[in-house]
Amino acid sequence: MDHEYSEYLEQLNEIGIALSAEQNQNHLLEKILVSAQSTTNADGGTLYLAENKQLNFAIVRTESLGIALGGTTGRPVIYAPIPLYRDNGLPDTRTVAACAAVSGQTINVPDAYTAPGFDFSGTIAFDKKIGYTSRSLLTVPMCNHEKEIIGVLQLINARDKNGHIIPFSRMLQQLTESLASQAAVALTNRSLISNLHELLETFIEIIATTIDQKSPFTGDHCRRVPHVAKLLAEAVHHHDTGPLSDFKFTKEELYELRIAALLHDCGKIATPVHLVNKATKLETVYDRISTVENRFELLKKEAEIRLLKRALGDKQITTEEQNEYQNYVIQLDEDLDFLKHCNIGSEFMADEKQQRVKQIALHEWKKSDGSSEKLLSNEEIDTLNIPKGTLSKAERNTINGHITVTIKMLESLPFPKNLRHVTEIAGGHHERMDGKGYPKGLKREEMSVRARIMGIADIFEALTSKDRPYKKALTLSQALKILGNMKQEGHIDPDIFDVFIKERVYMRYAKSFLQANQIDEVDLTSLPGFECETLEEEQGEAVVS
């Protein structure tokens, strides 16, 4: 017996190690029951999970009948849950499983057909239906570290070496109780890990949502970029030709990429809202073009008052003076329309346009104290003369600074081992392959493939986004043309761009997220930076193989 007991302990130790290493919930549940049956040589067994004041069937197995339900079998357990309490709130101890759960005590029944105190009518009826006899039962509650019942392990029909049904001995009961305790620890750990995982992901989702909702003009950027990144990473993973043909991602690496994509713009929390929302050049907390417009109105009123004063002084207003006034007003309206157009920032500001802004600024308007000022201040001149877009160089630097803040924020977080690359992936989406990007000026070979994927995902989403204040949503052909030029300029990774096109990642994203009028025909033969001959060769090789 000592030798047999030693073997049991050794087996129990191996089971404990296996349970602690199991990551999959269904595998874990199945392993608990199978291990218990193996240790006790029980023919059948059931594992229940305690939820919402009832026991739900998780795994059901009967070796002699070939029954295996739940777990990894793909066959669900369809039996009704066992209630733990009656309608009056008192414990329902009629069934042995419920009694073990509410009492927290192991119940060892030598013979279910003769044992008093429990309702085995359901078991006996089921036995009769399937031609089985449930004799010995061992029902062990599983308790977590907070003394809460999280499940019940029930074994049926212990067998001796000759296959005869015997009661569960005291030794087998102790071993099963020990196994149930280890199983409860494993289940609790798996539940805690799952809950922490869910908490972390929910928190990250909230951060991404907060960043997007900070401005109506960034919309769902932080939630869409992960979709582009996922599609592109999967395309790289499955692409079997070219420089990236041997590059594969694990499930964990794809998950890490998703988390990095969700957090890639978290530094925008520190970016001033008026810059994030800046739809026009003169916009701060409001669009100052309205202030400029008021000055133009003052100039027109001043001209009108001068004309009317001549009339009040019994002086005849000549046709020449009348025409001069009208031409002056027309010129002011044209100048204002020009400044309004410049304020939008949708076109490149050529030198002649910048000179015209400076010329218009020379007009003077009188303030209420009688002093005069130029129509535009030096700051307003410089702002309206921003060559491209709506941001000045200083504002652009502030906006670009969000990536530095992002890196600092992510570096300060104690990410678990499986997310240790999040900062590198998220922090590199504004770097360029030629080393001219920011904030670190990294070159292609200094960046991971996932960081390079992030760069293309971020740009493509921004190009096709319909909620940016400074541009219209581009069509697929327009966005891909820009990406192609960026490949030629050393901005984005050339090999990943090729996969993006060859695997039609852009179209899979477009069907889910773009408006119908954005999905136009893409002519790959004229796409900058892309050789159609390569695509045709690869397709030919695929057909031959």
Residue 118 has phi, psi (to 5 degrees) of: -130, 155
pLDDT of res. 4: 57
Residue 11 CA to residue 400 CA, distance in Å, equals 60
Residue 235 CA to residue 248 CA, distance in Å, equals 10
Residue 10 CA to residue 303 CA, distance in Å, equals 103
Could you tell me the pLDDT band of residue 9, with boundaries at 50, 70 and 90? low
**Residue whose structure tokens are 């009056």:** 88
Cis upstream peptide for 439 (omega within 30°)? yes
Residue type, 501: I
pLDDT of res. 189: 81
Q: Is residue 489 pLDDT above 90, yes or no?
A: yes
Complete domains list, the chain, with CATH = 2-193 (3.30.450.40), 215-273+398-544 (1.10.3210.10), 289-390 (no CATH)
The answer to whether 48 and 151 have CB atoms below 8 angstroms apart is: yes
Residue 528 CA to residue 518 CA, distance in Å, equals 19
Q: Is residue 5 pLDDT above 60, yes or no?
A: no
| Distance between first and last Cα of the chain | 63
Question: Closest Cα partner for 501 from 470, 523, 468, 471?
Answer: 523
pTM for the structure as a whole: 0.68
pLDDT of res. 218: 57
Q: Is residue 120 pLDDT above 80, yes or no?
A: yes
Encode pLDDT of 84-93 as tens digits: 999 888 998 8
Q: Is residue 501 pLDDT above 90, yes or no?
A: yes
3-class secondary structure, 153: strand
Q: How many Cα atoms sit within 13 Å of 109 on the Cβ side?
A: 26
Length of the chain: 545
